[in-house]
Structure 1
Amino acid sequence: MTTISRLLVLFSLVLASTVTFADDVVQRGQYLATAGDCAACHTARNGQPFAGGRVVPTPFGAIPAPNLTPDRDTGLGAWSADDFYRAMHSGEGHDGTSLYPAFPFTSYTKVTRADTDAIFAYLKTLPAVRRANTDDTLRWPYSMRSLMGPWRTLYFSEGEFQPDAGRSAAWNRGAYLVQGLGHCNECHARRNSFGAMVDDPFLAGGIVPVQNWYAPDLSMGAGGGLAGWTEADVVALLKTGRSLKGAAIGPMAEVVMRSTQHLSDGDLAAMATYLKSLPARDPPRMRESGADARDLALKGRTVYAEQCADCHAADGRGKGEAYPPLDGNGSVTDPTGINAIRIVLTGGFAPATAANPRPYSMPPFSQKLSDDDAAAVVTYIRQAWSNKAPSVSPNDVRAYRSVPGG
């Protein structure tokens, strides 16, 4: 088989949905819209699906997500399939204006024309809802849409996903979903001062803007945020919200609830195959722990024995899928300590999914633990057993005790 022939075969496999209704354009579009988690932004709380009204917070101000129903005046009723593709692929609105990257066209540009057409066909079947879009509240100078021209030149690479002929069909399907529709890098990457993703290394983790959670590095190799995970662990987390390695907490819980639990087993396995191929990471730079940090960890061991060991076990290995392990858990050892602090303070709530409709949850300890005690127990679990993460301080706890984005 020639290289060109192999590319064509791979490309056809990437385009083909693994679900049984692949030949029905509207149903395939519904599946793809779910894979893209479109409803998460474009549906207001208790609102009509896809009718907009939900405000997307950014460090530069708030941007309301628009109405995607086929209402002619306030939704997509006057749009063509070409208009919709241009928005997804090029980040340009119906009137030719540059869209702000709160809409992740920086990832959706990789979605194929066939798939954007299917999503558009599905959206056109929704009940039309008349709901006018409100204006954004971006601060000056970010409110100057003309600045998007230079931003796009510097930080936006337009282009559909191109299959790798040297990789399997499963790897290509997984790469297509993770890089494109899944737009995983929009959370799992650092951002620079202009709000652009830092994607080298790719999917290396970062703080979710405004929501103030740390989205972990997704490499399963040595030094990665998912080091020690198997592909089955990844599939289990995306399908059920839990695995033997940890549970989906914070913003990821909503992603699992709204999107990934509804994907086919084949697509979830493909995503895991792709993540498995991400390169190993350099060991994190550890700062020296002073006497205060060592004393804090010793105090934390006592707090852990009193408050945590019954569920998570004295050795930090947890108890099955009900109580996740803390030893080797990326949410415990993330570079910032944000996730561990927030879970101790506000609790940990895994999503209810079809495969796990009544998940175990961790209660909040904000009323039981002082800032010193919370810092002590978080420092302890970040440095106990095989964990080797930096300590946190009582000031760190105070900073996140009332932080928005919970």
Structure 2
Amino acid sequence: MKKLLFVMSLLLLFVVSCGGKKAADSNVIKIGVIAPLTGDVAQYGVAVKNGVQLKVDELNAAGGINGKKIELVVADSKGESQEAVNIFKKMVSQDKVNLVIGEVISSASIAVSELAQKAKVPMITASGTALDITKGKDYVFRTTFTDPFQGTAVAKYAKTKGIKKIAVLTNTSSDYSLGLAEAFKKQATQDGITIVEEKYTKDDKDFKSILTKIKGQNPEALYIPDYYNTNGLIATQANELGFKIPYLGGDGWDGIQTNFGKVAEGTIFSSQFAPDDTDPTVVKFIKDYKTKFNSNPLVFAALGYDTVTVVENAIKNSKDLSGESIRTAMAATKGLPLVTGTFQFDADRNPNKKVTFIEVKGGKLTLKEKL
């Protein structure tokens, strides 16, 4: 009898413990964050993660969302698509996340988006710009604008400055570079701008040959749609060859000021965030970010922060925490006061927002204008 009572007591304790655990879990919102925290584009991934963390900490300090605390499940993709896919599968099957923020770069975001759509797990990328990330996937969103959107915007900007001939340097190994280059060339050609193009791959480090060829064609500007580390190498070598023309680019230039500020002087690139913007929302974000991380935020940090604001709004307006309910509520996002600008989603869940043009001046990123 004593043994029986002992066994029954253990069973009761087990049931109560399981019940308690379930109740605790019901008061938690699990958000997966997939980002390159190491590797060539770690600067972007860390920035997004920090922006996400800052906003989540603010929300949790204020009681969470609808009384539920947020738990982040963060994993390093190293910027590799297969690694991002493996992480997503684990987050869904083992961690049981309610939604995923990520990935950070376009190629990995495309890979994860296919799985998110099949699993019906809401996914929102803070910074993946390739058009194919969200296209045809109603469970996939983005906070940043798309490659075609910013590529077109920079071409229009060039026209307003009276530039007649532009050289384009395209990285054929990068979905990001290809997307921006294609949109830029299309719009520039429509606007009567002459385009000359040279191509390279991710393995190239010596650009002097193609830069010499470009210099011989006398362009008035050089459009380089790539990430800051490669842009820095190209700008360094172009300067060594005596280039005196302005460089143009996309938001991948953000971060250039860290190691290549001097050689990138005068560069104009499309973005959604300027460190010297006087908008109160931007000023507060920068102040809070510096306090927490003791560093200046990149646009990717601002986008990470805004992404959680979008998630917060969706969950507040969702009937429950099911993927379908969160997706429906997120699609209705409109008019939120965000660091990177107020927007609403279009039919493909891409934000319509203004473009902020940044100039590298004195080794720092400065607000040029908003269009």
TM over 0.5: no
TM-score range, shorter chain: under 0.3
TM-score, normalised by the number of residues in structure 1? 0.23
Looking at secondary structure, tell me which structure has more helix per residue. 2
Larger RCO: 1 or 2 (CA < 8 Å, sep 6+): 2
Structure (1 or 2) with the greater strand fraction? 2
